[in-house]
Chain A
Amino acid sequence: MDSVLRAAAVYIFLLLVFRLAGNRSVAQITAFDFILLLIISEAIQQAIITDDYSVTNAFLVVTTLMGLDIMLSLWKQRSERFEKFLDGVPLALIENGKLFKDRMSMERVDANDILAAAREMQGLERLDQIKHAVVEASGGITIIPKKEK
Chain B
Amino acid sequence: MATPNKNDGFEIGQDLEFQRKSWKVQRFGWLVMLLIVVAALLGLFGGGPLAHDDAGSKGSTLYVEYRRFQRYNSPAELRITVGPGAIRADSTARIWLDREWLTASEIKAIVPEPERSENIEDRTVYTFRVAPAAAGSLITFALWTRKIGRQRGRVGVDAGPSHRFSQFTYP
B23: A residues at CB distance < 8 A: 106
Interface residues of B in 1-24 (CB under 8 A from A): 1-2, 5, 7-8, 10, 12-16, 18-19, 22-23
Most buried by A among B1, B12, B16, B25: B12
Q: Which residues does B use to contact A, with CB under 8 Å?
A: 1-2, 5, 7-8, 10, 12-16, 18-19, 22-23, 25-26, 29-30, 33, 73, 171
B33: A residues at CB distance < 8 A: 17, 20
CB distance from B28 to the nearest CB of A (A): 9
Apart from A106-B23, A134-B12, list 6 A-B contacts with CB within 8 A.
A17-B33, A51-B73, A90-B13, A91-B14, A92-B5, A103-B19
In the assembled complex, A132 has its CB within 8 A of some CB on chain B = yes
Known: A90-B12, A132-B10. A84 touches B30 (CB 8 A): no
Chain B interface helix/strand/loop/mixed? helix
Of the candidates A16, A20, A89, which one forms a contact with B18 in the assembled complex, judged by CB atoms under 8 Å apart?
A89
In the assembled complex, A80 has its CB within 8 A of some CB on chain B = yes
Q: Establish whether residues B8 and A84, one from each chain, have CB atoms under 8 Å apart when the complex forms.
A: no
Q: Establish whether residues B19 and A89, one from each chain, have CB atoms under 8 Å apart when the complex forms.
A: yes
CB distance from A53 to the nearest CB of B (A): 14
In the assembled complex, A95 has its CB within 8 A of some CB on chain B = yes
CB distance from B35 to the nearest CB of A (A): 13
Q: Establish whether residues A22 and B15, one from each chain, have CB atoms under 8 Å apart when the complex forms.
A: no
Known: A51-B73, A80-B1, A84-B2. A90 touches B14 (CB 8 A): yes
